[in-house]
Amino acid sequence: MAATARFDVVAIGNAIVDVLARADDSLIASENLVKGSMRLIDADEAERLYAAMGPAIEMSGGSAANTLAGMAALGRRCGFIGQVAQDQLGQVFTHDLTSLGVAFDTPPSDGGAPTARCLILVTPDGQRTMNTFLGASQNLGHESLDAALIADADILYLEGYLWNADASRAAMAEAIGMAKAAGRRVAFTLSDTFVVAGHGEDFRRMMAAGDIDILFANEAELLELAQEGDFETALAKVAAEVPLLVATRGEHGAVAIQQGERTEVAAEPIDEVVDTTGAGDLFAAGFLAGLAEGRPIADCLTMGAVCAREIIAQVGPRAQTDLRTKVAARLG
């Protein structure tokens, strides 16, 4: 971490409350959903699908916010920029994040769309199928940016999901300029294949321009970004465009390529996969925490794998175990 930075990571992302419920494969089929995917829905569809779901658990989520929650649990200093509404779910989200020690001072919007929520169906195989109503989160704009906060973080971490809305996309592009002007690094997570399919040209242009210093992707996202059908080909193609590429492959582990040097780790062993919600988010948390501690890339990958294992062994994307203890037991 840069000695002058007050925060290890400041992230910009969707401020979402997750609503999780167990579901049989029959519900996935009857709703014509693609298991393991994420789709965007409107307010009416959110109400209809919620009525079709079984008993649910509500907890704060959002990809980048989940990553910061994991980093905070690992003892790192973080800040968040995201848009909630002045409603009950907005209060829940704000409380859940700030109670972990994450700085979050973005003023809530008054009137208009309600706080975002993601309806998550968890099937017996642990796969999560996400249905997201973006609500107020997609209205994050220029006025929500905190230039001082961004300049005071070693890494600005951007969530690909937020690239879909015009206002938030423009705000994130402006934030990249703020971070670069302050001499900080920018990390970007691709979030989902549908995001890459819709905005891959933007991301490829950003990589070519040197706007992205650290890129997080899973295997499917990497293939979509590279427009290749083979993992190794895609890995080499994208790694040539960014200083540090981190690619996750589920049960096949993870690989990082930094300035041409490749490092791989296996997935951490687990007895049962309960819910894959937040696996990539917590992997990023462990990896970024390792970077903040100045650890070698192999340790960063292992920290990510440990955090991912812990999160898929429970329901929901916020850790219910002591991540610091788990990492210490694995790495010392």
Q: Is the pLDDT of residue 330 over 80?
A: yes
pLDDT at residue 2 in the model: 45
CB 288 within 8 A of CB 255: no
Q: Is the pLDDT of residue 1 over 70?
A: no
pLDDT tens for each residue of 208-251: 999 999 999 999 999 999 999 999 999 999 999 999 999 999 99
Share of the chain above pLDDT 70, in %: 99
Mean pLDDT for the chain overall: 94
* Residue 257 CB neighbours (<10 A): 21
pLDDT tens for each residue of 32-65: 999 988 898 998 999 899 999 999 988 899 999 9
pLDDT tens for each residue of 255-296: 999 999 999 999 999 999 888 888 999 999 999 999 999 999
Q: How far apart are CA 25 and CA 232, in angstroms?
A: 33
